[in-house]
């Protein structure tokens, strides 16, 4: 089967198509390979919610859990052993993509959300996961909290490739890019090589519309503003990306072998059924970006997606949209802070559910 034409065109426009999902069943059944071959998928992202759904809904993990139960392995180690095994297998499956493209073929594994506000613990866990999976096409996901920024710098300086997650505002995104560049600069000062170090910055999209739409309703604002802020916010983030990665500071690092930290559009499944199901793909087409999609959204675009206005042509309108939202009475700083807090809580809750599920399975199989 030839690759889907619409997704192939998206890739040709500079958007790397990644899948926002992973499970052992998806790997073993050949489904992931089909998505690579037929739907232009060149990367995979995971998070605690994805793993909780994968492990609780499958018996593919039973033998591994049984073996760990016999050995009396603790729940924390068991959880990491299981998730690392899936990510390692996915890295191996995507290795040919990594070799062909030089920058895709990546699979992401997240640090525990419970350490999102602890710099040292985040950096330590990132190093451990990098060692545990032991694949060059791995990304370690680190949340873009204030405490996470220093851990990003430390990890990059150690030669660990990072997917920075839970970014909601262009201002925090600028801080993330600074953390990445600082890590590269520190590595150079320490005598290390920049070869092979990569990063993406996961800018969350649909959740922004969900929160801002709700507040617009509360303010009694013009309904025409609804469903526009998330794309506009991300478009302004790309403008920031262009500024930073055309700076003299960046050029100096690029001359030493550094690669740019690409923007990654995350949370791209449409939550509001009144909006087009390809809204957060069509409106965010730009060179050197990644769009990580749930399978439903991926196949929706493959079926009926069409490109919108190129992002580089939208900056003035995007700024006007965000200005209008603020003038309507929406406190954008509070929106972004609330979304970060909510995002960490959701992943922490999923992590706790996953831990409880594995603990129960370990006890059942002793």
Whether 202 contacts 266, CB under 8 Å:
yes
What is d(CA 11, CA 293) in angstroms, rounded to the nearest whole number? 14
Q: pLDDT value at position 366?
A: 66
Q: pLDDT value at position 317?
A: 98
**321-327 mean pLDDT:** 98
Q: Tell me the two tokens of residue 21.
A: 């999902």
The pLDDT > 90 percentage for the chain reads: 91
Q: pLDDT value at position 363?
A: 86
Q: Taking Cα atoms as reference points, which of 260, 20, 310 lies closest to residue 156?
A: 260
Please give the angle made by the CA atoms of 278, 208 and 246, to the nearest 5 degrees. Answer: 85
Q: Indicate the burial class of 80 (C-beta count within 10 angstroms; 0-12, 13-18, 19 or more).
A: middle
pTM for this entry? 0.96
Q: Tell me the two tokens of residue 74.
A: 């603790």
Write the pLDDT tens digit of every residue in 225-234.
999 999 999 9
CA distances from 280 to 92, 129, 271, 306 (A): 29, 31, 11, 11
Could you tell me how far CA 36 lies from the centroid of its own chain?
18
Q: Evaluate if residue 251 carries a pLDDT over 90.
A: yes
**287-304 mean pLDDT:** 98
Lowest model confidence (mean pLDDT) among 59-73, 161-175, 282-296: 59-73
What is d(CA 218, CA 204) in angstroms, rounded to the nearest whole number? 23
What is d(CA 104, CA 95) in angstroms, rounded to the nearest whole number? 9
Q: Indicate the burial class of 71 (C-beta count within 10 angstroms; 0-12, 13-18, 19 or more).
A: exposed
What is d(CA 45, CA 107) in angstroms, rounded to the nearest whole number? 6
- The model's confidence at residue 262, banded by pLDDT at 50, 70 and 90, is very high
**251-278 mean pLDDT:** 97
Write the pLDDT tens digit of every residue in 332-349.
999 999 999 999 999 999
Whether 61 contacts 82, CB under 8 Å:
yes
What is d(CA 30, CA 311) in angstroms, rounded to the nearest whole number? 35
Q: pLDDT value at position 13?
A: 97
Write the pLDDT tens digit of every residue in 124-162.
999 999 999 999 999 999 999 999 999 999 999 999 999
Q: Which of 141, 296, 323, 345 is catalytic?
A: 141
Q: What is the 3-state secondary structure (H, E, C) of 102-167?
A: CCCCEEEEECCHHHCCCHHHHHHHHHHHHHHHCCCCEEEEEECCHHHHHHHHHHHHCCCCEEEEEE
Dihedral pair phi/psi, residue 248, rounded to 5°: -65, -35
Write the pLDDT tens digit of every residue in 79-103.
999 999 999 999 999 999 999 999 9
**Residue with structure tokens 């706790």?**
352
**265-276 mean pLDDT:** 96
Q: pLDDT value at position 90?
A: 98
Q: Evaluate if residue 1 carries a pLDDT over 80.
A: no
User: Taking the CB of residue 363, how many other CB atoms lie within 10 A of it?
Assistant: 10
Dihedral pair phi/psi, residue 362, rounded to 5°: -65, -40
Q: Evaluate if residue 111 carries a pLDDT over 70.
A: yes
Strand partners, 109: 140
Q: Please tell me the chain's helix, strand, coil percentages from 3-state DSSP, rounded to the nearest 5.
A: 60, 10, 30
The CATH label, of 3.40.50.300, 3.20.20.10, 3.40.50.1980, 3.20.20.70, for the domain at 5-364 is 3.20.20.70
Q: Taking Cα atoms as reference points, which of 57, 215, 203 lies closest to residue 144?
A: 203
**261-282 mean pLDDT:** 97
The pLDDT > 70 percentage for the chain reads: 99
Q: Evaluate if residue 314 carries a pLDDT over 90.
A: yes
Note if 271 is an active site residue: no
**236-257 mean pLDDT:** 98
Q: What value does the mean pLDDT of the chain take? A: 96
**Summary count for the chain: helices (H), strands (E):** 16, 8
């Amino acid at each position: 089967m030839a690759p889907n034409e619409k997704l192939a065109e998206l890739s040709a426009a500079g958007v790397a198509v990644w899948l926002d999902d992973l499970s052992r069943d998806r790997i073993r059944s050949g489904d992931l390979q089909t998505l690579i071959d037929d739907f232009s998928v060149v990367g995979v992202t995971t998070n605690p919610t994805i793993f909780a759904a994968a492990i609780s809904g499958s018996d593919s993990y039973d033998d591994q859990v049984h073996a760990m139960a016999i050995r009396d392995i603790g729940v924390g180690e068991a959880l990491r052993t299981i998730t690392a095994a899936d990510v390692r297998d996915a890295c191996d499956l995507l290795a040919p993509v990594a070799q062909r493209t030089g920058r895709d073929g990546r699979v992401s594994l997240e640090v525990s959300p419970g350490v999102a506000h602890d710099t040292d613990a985040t950096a330590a866990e990132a190093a451990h996961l990098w060692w545990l999976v032991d694949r060059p096409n791995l990304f370690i996901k680190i949340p873009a909290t204030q405490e996470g920024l220093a851990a990003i710098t430390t990890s990059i300086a150690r030669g660990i490739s990072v997917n920075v997650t839970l970014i909601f505002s262009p201002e925090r995104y600028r801080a993330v890019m600074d953390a990445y560049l600082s890590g590269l600069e520190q590595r150079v000062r320490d005598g290390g090589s920049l070869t092979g170090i990569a990063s993406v910055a996961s800018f969350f999209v649909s959740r922004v519309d969900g929160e801002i739409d709700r507040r617009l309703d509360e303010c009694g604002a013009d309904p025409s503003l609804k469903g526009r802020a998330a794309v506009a916010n991300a478009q302004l983030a790309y403008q920031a990306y262009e500024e930073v990665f055309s700076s003299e500071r960046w050029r100096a690092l690029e001359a030493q072998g550094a690669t740019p930290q690409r923007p990654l559009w995350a949370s791209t499944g449409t939550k509001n059924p009144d909006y087009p199901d390809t809204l957060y793909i069509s409106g965010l087409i730009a060179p050197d970006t990644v769009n990580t999609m749930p399978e439903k959204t991926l196949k929706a675009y493959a079926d009926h997606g069409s490109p919108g206005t190129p992002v580089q042509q939208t900056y003035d309108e995007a700024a006007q949209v965000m200005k209008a939202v603020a003038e309507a009475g929406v406190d954008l700083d509070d929106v972004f802070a609330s979304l970060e807090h909510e995002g960490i809580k959701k992943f922490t809750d999923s992590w706790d559910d996953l831990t409880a599920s594995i603990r129960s399975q370990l006890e059942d199989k002793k």
